[in-house]
Structure 1
Amino acid sequence: MSTQTFNAQTLPANDNVNPYAFSVDLNGQWFAQKGKMIAYYGQIRFEALSAGPLDQLVAATFHSPLYAQDWIVAQGQGKLLLADRGFDINSFDLDEGNLTIRAGNLLAFEPGLELKQSIIPGFLTLIGTGRFVAASNGPVHFVEPPIRVDPQALLGWADCPSPCHHYDHSYMRGVLGTARMLTGLGGTSGEEHQFDFTGQGTVLMQSSEVVTNQDTLLRDLEGQVGMLGVGGLERLHGTIGQRIAAERQH
C-alpha cells in the first residue's frame, strides 16, 4: 500500500488533505476551535481571544460569549492542518450569506465572517463572506424545505428561517406522553421529535444520528440558568434529580 508524504510545499492550499483533514494556507488570521489543530508548518502563533492585541478583531467578528473560551486565533504564515477525531471534514464558502451550524461541528473560519450565537441552543450563526471548515459524522447532504429532520442528524441550515420543534402525535397523547412532557423522562427518538423547516433555503444533514460534541448544548443550557429565579431553579433541580435517578436505573 503506497502513501503520499507531504511537506509545506506539497500540502493542499485551503483544501482537504483527505476526507478527514483540511489544510489552511494561512497568511494572516483564522479563528480555530481549540483542539482541532493537529499540525502546522511555518511561523504561526496561537492566541486566546482575550489577548489584548486581538480586541479589535474579536469586537468586530466574534459575538458569542458562551463559546469564547473554546476558540483561539491562529495568526502568521504557513500551513495549518485541522481535523476532528476522524470525522469527515468539509469546507464551505459563504458569499454574503447567513448560515447556522451546530457549534461542536464548526472547526475554523476566516475573520471575513462574523460569528453570532444562534437563538437555537447548541448552534452558532456565521454571516458575511468567507470560508469555514466543519466536521460531520459521515457525508453532508443538502436538502430544501419543507422538511423535518432528526435533531441528531441536523448539521445546520442556510438562508432559511430557524426551525420549529415538531412532536409526533403518538408522543403527545396519552398518560405516558403527559409524563414525558412534565418530567422529561423516557427521552425521544427521531421518529417522535424532529426539527421542522419551512420557507426558502437549504438544510444541511449529516449521515448519522450521532452528535460529534454535546458539550456545546450543555454550555447553552448553563448560560440560560442565570435567567431563572429561585422557583425556576428549584424546579430545574427537581427535574435533573428525576433524570439522574432514571438514568441510574438503566
Structure 2
Amino acid sequence: MSKYSIDQFIQQTEQEDKGEGFFELETPRILEVNLDGQVWAKAGSMVSYTGKIKFEREGIFEHGLGKTFKKAFTGEGTSLMKANGNGKLYLADSGKKVIILHLQNDAIFVNGNDLLAFEPSIKWDIKLMKKVAGMMAGGLFNVRCEGTGLVAITTYYEPLTLKVTPGKPIITDPNATVAWSGNLKPEFQTDISFKTFLGRGSGESIQMKFEGEGFVVVQPYEEVHMKQNS
C-alpha cells in the first residue's frame, strides 16, 4: 500500500473508540462527546455528529446577567448551545488545542472564548470583567465552572500553567490568559510605558494581576477582539 494512498490516509485519520468515556480526545484538536443525554458546548463548535442529537442555542448572558448586558455583548464568544440526544458529537474551535479537565469538587475560571464544552453536572456562572469593558470586547467575561464533572477548554498552541504563590504575583496579558483556579480573583492594572514599549497604538496596556495561591493557564497567542468604533 502506497503511503500516500487514500486507504493509508483513512487508516491514519479514521475515528477510533478509545474507551475514555463521555469526553474523548479524538485528535489533539477535536473533542468527541459520547452523548447519552445532554452536554453544554460553545455555539458553532459542532463539526460532525452521528445518531439523533438536537441542538438548542442559548445566549450565555441570559443565564446569569440581566437584559441590560444582552444587547451590549453579542457574538460567538457569548453563546452556548445545548446538545440533547444519543450519539457521537464532534466539537472543535478554530483548530485550537483541546484540553479535558476532570473537576472533582473544584472550581475553575475559563475565558469565555476558550470554553468548549462541559457536562451538565457542572454548575456555571458568568463573571463580567467590568474594568476592561470599555477597552476590549474579547475576554470581557469569563465562566466559573464548579463541581464534579468534565470540562473541555481550548488554547492556541501549547498552554503553559504558572503557579501563583503568596508574595509572588503573576502578571498576564488578558488576551493570552485562558483559565485560572477558582479561588483567585485577578486585579486589572494598566501600564502606559509597557504599551509604548511594545510599539502599539494609543491607550494603555491592560494587565491581569493574580495574587495568592493557585494557578494560571496562558497560551502563546493573543486572542485580540478589539471593540469596533461606531
TM-score, length-scaled by structure 2: 0.72
Structure 2: which 5+ residue stretches go unaligned?
Answer: 130-139
1:168, distance to aligned residue in structure 2 (A): 3.4
- Pick from 109, 120, 132 the counterpart of residue 151 of structure 2: 132
Residue 209 (structure 1) shift: 2.0
Moved over 4 A (4+): 9-13, 64-69
Mapping 1:76-115, distance limit 5 Å: 76-115=85-124
Give 1:124 shift: 1.5
Q: What is the deviation of 1:73? A: 1.1
Residue number among 161, 168, 171 corresponding to 1:148 in the alignment = 171
Return the alpha-carbon distance in structure 2 between the equivalents of residues 26 and 64 of structure 1.
Answer: 29
CA–CA distance in structure 2, aligned partners of residues 93 and 63 of structure 1: 24
d(CA) in 1 for partners of 2:158 and 2:55? 30
The alpha-carbon deviation at position 113 of structure 1 amounts to: 0.8
Structure with the largest fraction of helix = 1
Residue of structure 2 in register with 1:158 after alignment: 181
Match of 1:186? 202
> Among 33, 41, 44, which residue is 1:35 paired with?
44
Shift of 1:160: 2.8
Measured in 1, the distance between the counterparts of 2:127 and 2:98 equals 22
Asked whether the 8 Å contact 1:64–1:116 carries over to 2, the reply is: no
In the alignment, is the contact (CA less than 8 A) between 2:187 and 2:210 conserved in 1?
A: yes
Choose from 104, 125, 144 the match for 1:116: 125
Relative to structure 1, the CA distance from residue 74 to residue 169 in structure 2 (aligned partners, 3 Å threshold; closer, same or farther) is: closer
Whether the 8 Å contact between 1:159 and 1:202 is mirrored in structure 2 is no
Query: Gaps (5+ residues) in structure 1?
Result: 51-57, 177-184, 219-239, 245-250
Match of 2:223 among 210, 217, 236: 210
Q: Distance in 2 between matches of 1:144 and 1:49?
A: 34
Deviation readout 1:81-130 (Å, 9 max, x if unpaired): 00011111111121111211111111211111111111423212112111
More strand by share: 2
Would you say the 8 A contact 2:18–2:24 is kept in 1? no
Distance 1:64 1:137, change over 3 A: farther
- Between structure 1 and structure 2, the one with the greater Rg is 1
Q: Aligned to 1:168, which of 191, 194, 201?
A: 191
Distance change in 2, residues 1:147/1:69 (3 Å): closer
Deviation of 1:200 (Å): 1.2
**Residues 1:109 and 1:64: Cα distance change in structure 2 (over 3 Å):** farther
Which residue number corresponds to residue 231 of structure 1?
A: none
Match of 1:118, SS state, is strand
- Aligned to 1:144, the other structure's residue is in SS state strand
- 1:142-192 CA deviation, whole Å, 9 max, x = no partner? 1111211112111121133211123337369xxx9xxxxxxxx7034xxx5
Residue in 2 aligned with 1:63?
64
SS in 2 for 1:152: helix
Q: Would the alpha carbon gap of residues 207 and 169 (structure 1) be closer, same or farther in structure 2, given more than 3 Å must change? A: closer
Report the Cα offset of residue 198 of structure 1. Answer: 0.4
| Distance change (3 Å), C-alpha of 1:148 and 1:37 | same
